[in-house]
Structure 1
Amino acid sequence: MKRFLQTARLALLAAACVAAPLAGAQDFPKKPIRLVVGMAPGGSNDTVARMIGTELSKTLPQPVIVENKPGANSTIATAELKRSAPDGHTLMIVISSHVTNTFLYPGLSYTLNDFAPVSLIADTPFVLVANPKFAPNTVKELIATAKAGKIDFGTPGSGSTQHISMELMNQMAGISMNHIPYKGGAPAQQDLLAGQIPLIFATPTQSLPFLKDHKLKPLAVTSTKRLDLLPDVPTLAESGIPGYDANVWFGIIAPAGTPPAVVSFLNGEISKVIRKPEFQKRLTELGLAPIDGSPAQFQKLIDQEKVKWADVIKKSNLKLD
C-alpha cells in the first residue's frame, strides 16, 4: 500500500490536464448523480462525499446529490449499489471496510467483483492513543505489558477498521489485547477519557484536541511515515512493529458494467476536484491526505488489501452475522 500511495501522490502533484470526455461519455450525465454514503450524516466519509458532490455540481451539467443509507457497516447501501443501473448515475463513497466486509459477513449478496473502482480521494492513519494514567509510554512498553497480562482495547465495534487494525497489531507484535467493542467511536473515546479503557485507535482530528490538552497521550501512528500534524509521534513500524501499515482510504465506486468511458470521465472530473488547492486544504484540516490515481490503480490497491486483510481476519477467526 505504501508504494501504491506514493505513486498516486506523484500523479496528484503532476498538474497534467485531464483529457476531454471520451466517446460514449459525451452526453453524460443525463440526470442527477446519486452519491451514496453507507453511514449516517456527520462522519468523515459523509463530509468528504458532500465536499466532492459540491465541487462536481459546479462543473457538471447535472447536480450530485448525496444520499445517506446507513446500516450494517455500509453493507446495506453497498448491496443496493450492486442493484443499481450501471450507467454512472449511482455512485458510492467507500472506505477500507469495503474490502474487509466481504470477509467478515459470509452472507453478503455481493462480492468485490460487483463494483468498478472510479477514483481514490484520500487516506488517513489512526493514532494509537492512551489514557494518561496508562503506565506504558511507548509501544515497546505496551507490548511488554501486554505479554505480562491483559490489556483492554476499545473500538467503534466488531469488524470496524479499528478492530481489524488492532488484530493486525496483535498478530505482528505477538500479543493478545482484549477487544472491547462499542457502538461507535464517540462512546469508546468517552470511556477512554474516563479511564474505563486504556487504549483506542482514533483518527487524527478525533484525537488532536485531547492531545493538545494532555487529556490523552499518543503512543504511535499507524502509517509508515509520521504525520505532519504530530511530527513527534513515531510510527508503529519504528516503535517495535516493523512493517506495520494500516491506513484508512476513501474512494468512489460504481456498479460493475458501468461503461469504461463513463468511469474514465468521472475519474477525470474527480481528479480535477482533488487537485484544487482549496479542496486539498480542507482535506488536510480533516486529517486526510489527498491521493489520486486511475481506476486501474484503485483496483490494484483493492487487490492488495484483499490479500492483506483476508489473512488477518482468517488468523483472528472473525465472522459477523
Structure 2
Amino acid sequence: MNTSRRSFLAFLGAGAAALLTAGPVMAQAYPDKAIRMVVPYAAGGGVDNIARVVAQHLAPRLKQPVVIDNKPGANANIGADLVAKAPPDGYTVLMGATFLAFNRAAMKNLPYDAAKDLVPVARVGRAPTVLVVPATLPVTNVAELVAYLKANADKVSYGAVGSASPPTLLFARQTGTAAVQVLYKGGSAALPDLMAGRLTYMIQTTSEVIPHIASGKLKALAVTSGERFKALPNVPTFKEAGVDGIDWTGWWGMFVPAGTPAAVVQRLSSEMQAVMAMPEVAAAVDKLGVEPAYQPAPEFGVFFRKSVSDHESYARDFKLSTE
C-alpha cells in the first residue's frame, strides 16, 4: 500500500477502511466449507450430467467439496425455488438451464422470480435439441414421422420434461400434428419409455440422447439449431428436413441467490472460467453433446435477460399460461 493510500485510510478511520477492504478479504476467505450445487432434475439427465463434470473440476480449485443435490419436480421449479430462497452466501448454487427463462414466461404463480431472485454467475455451454424416435418406429426422416403421426393420431404420444417447451410447440404447429403429452421429472426417466416404443418421439437435449443414438436405440431425425450440430453432423436441421420456423438452442449455466456478495459471484465466475478452459472439461462437455460456451457473470447476465425476453415472446405467441 502506498503512502497516500495509508494516509487516506487513516483519515477515514478504521471503520471506513474496513468497508473499503471488505470485498477482497471476503473473496479470499470464501469458501471455507462445502458448496451445495442444486440440480433441479433427476440424476442422469442433461443438466445433471453437466453439473457433475463441472463440480468434479471446480472442487479442487475452490479447495472445498462441491456436492450435487438433485431436487427434481414441478418442471424444475422445486430446485430453482430452493436456491432462490437459500442464504445468499455462495454456498448454495444452482446449475440452471433454459427452463429458468421459459418457466418464468409461461407459468403463473411461481414461488420465485428467476430474473430477480437469482444472479447469473457463468454460462457453461449451449446446444440444440434433437428430434428422436425409437429405433423400431418405421420412419427414417421428419416427413415420414409427420405422416405417421397424422395417420395414427389416436395412439401417438411424446415425452416431455417441461409441460410446454418451445421446440415441441413449434414442431406441432409447423407440422400440423398432435400427440398425447407424457410428462416426466427428467429425460433419464423418459428415455427408457421412448427406447421401448411406449412413446412415439421426443425433442430432447443432445446431451441426453447422443449415447442412445450412437448405440442404435434411437434414431435422430432433425436438430433444432439453424445449422447442423457438430456432434451430430449427419443429422439435418429442421429446415433441411423441410420444416421451417424451428430454430432454437438451449443453454446451461450457474446461478446464486440474489444478494450474494459481488466478490463471491466474481470468485465463482473466475473459477468457472478456469474450469471451462481445461481441455479435459471441454472434451467431457463436448462428449455429452454440448458446445462449451463460457460467459462470465456480466455477459451471462445480459444473455439471460435476452433469453427471458425471447421466451416471453414464445409465451405470448403460443398464448401460454400454465399453473
Task: Name 1:108's counterpart in structure 2.
Answer: 110
- Looking at structure 1, the residues matched to 219 and 43 of structure 2 have their Cα atoms a distance apart, in angstroms, of 29
- 1:168 pairs with 2:195: no
Cα gap change, 1:236/1:300 in structure 2, threshold over 3 Å: closer, same or farther? farther
- Looking at structure 2, the residues matched to 33 and 277 of structure 1 have their Cα atoms a distance apart, in angstroms, of 24
DSSP 3-state at the match of 2:240: helix
Contact 2:118 2:257 in 1 (8 A): yes
Greater gyration radius: 2
Cα gap change, 1:285/1:167 in structure 2, threshold over 3 Å: closer, same or farther? same
Task: Name 1:156's counterpart in structure 2.
Answer: 160
Task: Name 1:139's counterpart in structure 2.
Answer: 142
DSSP 3-state at the match of 2:226: coil
Shift of 1:193: 3.8
Task: Name 1:128's counterpart in structure 2.
Answer: 131
Shift of 1:202: 3.4
Shift of 1:96: 1.0
* Equivalent in 219, 225, 228 of residue 223 of structure 1: 225
Cα gap change, 1:34/1:211 in structure 2, threshold over 3 Å: closer, same or farther? closer
Shift of 1:124: 2.4
RMSD: 2.9
Cα gap change, 1:296/1:104 in structure 2, threshold over 3 Å: closer, same or farther? same
Task: Name 2:85's counterpart in structure 1.
Answer: 83
Task: Name 1:181's counterpart in structure 2.
Answer: 182
Contact 1:122 1:289 in 2 (8 A): yes
- 1:45 pairs with 2:76: no
* Equivalent in 229, 233, 256 of residue 254 of structure 1: 256
- Looking at structure 2, the residues matched to 260 and 132 of structure 1 have their Cα atoms a distance apart, in angstroms, of 49
Higher deviation after alignment, 105-114 or 270-279? 105-114
Cα gap change, 1:257/1:156 in structure 2, threshold over 3 Å: closer, same or farther? same
Q: Residues 236-275 of structure 1: CA distance to partner in whole angstroms, max 9, x if unpaired?
A: 1333344532222111001112222221221110010011
Task: Name 1:118's counterpart in structure 2.
Answer: 121
Unpaired runs of 5+ in structure 1?
A: 1-21
- Looking at structure 2, the residues matched to 179 and 140 of structure 1 have their Cα atoms a distance apart, in angstroms, of 19
Cα gap change, 1:192/1:81 in structure 2, threshold over 3 Å: closer, same or farther? closer
Shift of 1:56: 1.9
DSSP 3-state at the match of 1:290: strand
Shift of 1:32: 2.5
- Looking at structure 2, the residues matched to 75 and 136 of structure 1 have their Cα atoms a distance apart, in angstroms, of 35
Q: Residues 121-149 of structure 1: CA distance to partner in whole angstroms, max 9, x if unpaired?
A: 12222221234565654335555776788
Contact 2:167 2:246 in 1 (8 A): no
Cα gap change, 1:229/1:261 in structure 2, threshold over 3 Å: closer, same or farther? same
Cα gap change, 1:61/1:135 in structure 2, threshold over 3 Å: closer, same or farther? closer
Identity across aligned pairs (percent)? Answer: 32
- Looking at structure 2, the residues matched to 232 and 225 of structure 1 have their Cα atoms a distance apart, in angstroms, of 12
Correspondence list, 1:1-321, <5 A: 23=24, 24-112=26-114, 113-131=116-134, 137-140=140-143, 142=145, 150=153, 152-159=156-163, 163-171=165-173, 173=174, 175-183=176-184, 184-186=186-188, 188-204=190-206, 206-212=208-214, 214-242=216-244, 244-321=246-323
Letter in 2 for 1:106: K
Higher deviation after alignment, 269-278 or 290-299? 290-299
Letter in 2 for 1:156: A
Shift of 1:196: 4.4
Shift of 1:115: 1.0
- Looking at structure 1, the residues matched to 134 and 110 of structure 2 have their Cα atoms a distance apart, in angstroms, of 37
Count of equivalent residues? 297
Cα gap change, 1:55/1:186 in structure 2, threshold over 3 Å: closer, same or farther? closer
Contact 1:154 1:188 in 2 (8 A): no
Cα gap change, 1:255/1:139 in structure 2, threshold over 3 Å: closer, same or farther? same
DSSP 3-state at the match of 1:237: coil
Q: Residues 6-63 of structure 1: CA distance to partner in whole angstroms, max 9, x if unpaired?
A: xxxxxxxxxxxxxxxx735232223332222222333232232232222122122433
- Please report the TM-score for the alignment, with normalisation by the length of structure 1: 0.80
Q: Residues 149-175 of structure 1: CA distance to partner in whole angstroms, max 9, x if unpaired?
A: 848441234526xx432102234x262
- Looking at structure 2, the residues matched to 138 and 191 of structure 1 have their Cα atoms a distance apart, in angstroms, of 21
- Looking at structure 2, the residues matched to 123 and 45 of structure 1 have their Cα atoms a distance apart, in angstroms, of 11
Shift of 1:278: 0.6
